[in-house]
């Protein structure tokens, strides 16, 4: 398992969203290591009306304007935390939402943070994934291309076939095919008919 260096991570938003499929999100918790393989992402490229940075920088979305490979963590609907990877050069403001993980390591640690959840549901959905890995606002803005509390890694495993669909839960620019997924994964969120 190797940390993904910034030079290896694609800068362009859609390219990065596809690249991240099959890669690992690694979290260092006090109790130990927890990691999951990314099976679902959504791209929010520059100019997209559903992108938080669309109307400019605010205190919440400022991490989107960091150079590609930094974490943008925010609270959605007051209760769920969302993990994004910033994309594009510094100052542009764009990112990729991580929507679902296949648990790989530290499954017991994730289960402890998601009481009552079935193994398949541990990190199925952006809010669930963040809860399972103990991701909170303290991690907003950290560099995901360096070994630390939270980072991206790869282990050379084949990604599998990639499927494409419209994004979930948005209204503006809802028709754009910017959701990417690993076909056939049991850990995908969203309605089945979108997971082809």
Residue 59 binding DNA, by CB under 7 A: yes
Residue 169 binding DNA, by CB under 7 A: yes
Which CB, 42 or 88, lies closer to DNA?
A: 42
Residue 51 binding DNA, by CB under 7 A: yes
Q: What gap in Å lies between CA 137 and CA 73, rounded to an integer?
A: 6
Instruction: Locate 117 and state its tokens.
Output: 């959840």
Cβ atoms of residues 153 and 136 within 8 Å: no
Which CB, 158 or 171, lies closer to DNA?
A: 171
Q: What gap in Å lies between CA 50 and CA 61, rounded to an integer?
A: 13
Cβ atoms of residues 179 and 40 within 8 Å: yes
Neighbouring C-beta atoms of residue 186, cutoff 10 Å: 9
- Which x/- pattern over 97-126 shows residues binding DNA (rule: CB under 7 A)? x----------------x-xx---x---xx
Interacting residue ranges for DNA, rule: CB under 7 A: 42, 44, 50-53, 55-56, 58-61, 64, 72, 74-80, 82, 84, 95, 97, 114, 116-117, 121, 125-129, 131, 137, 167-172, 189
């Amino acid at each position: 398992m190797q940390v993904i260096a910034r030079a290896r991570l694609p800068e362009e938003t859609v390219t990065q969203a596809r690249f991240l499929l099959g890669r690992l999100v690694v979290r260092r918790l006090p109790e130990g290591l927890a990691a999951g393989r990314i099976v679902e992402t959504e791209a929010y490229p520059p100019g997209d009306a559903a992108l938080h940075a669309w109307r400019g920088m605010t205190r919440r979305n400022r991490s989107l304007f960091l150079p590609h490979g930094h974490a943008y963590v925010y609270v959605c609907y007051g209760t769920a935390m969302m993990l994004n990877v910033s994309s594009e050069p510094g100052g542009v403001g764009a990112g990729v939402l991580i929507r679902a993980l296949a648990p790989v390591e530290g499954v017991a640690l994730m289960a402890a943070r998601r009481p009552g959840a079935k193994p398949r549901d541990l990190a199925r959905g952006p809010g669930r994934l963040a809860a399972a890995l103990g991701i909170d606002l303290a991690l907003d803005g950290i560099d995901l291309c360096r070994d630390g509390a939270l980072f991206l890694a790869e282990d050379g495993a084949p990604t599998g076939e990639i499927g494409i669909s419209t994004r979930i839960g948005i209204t503006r620019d809802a028709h754009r095919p910017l959701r990417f997924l690993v076909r056939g994964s049991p850990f995908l969120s969203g309605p089945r008919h979108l997971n082809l």
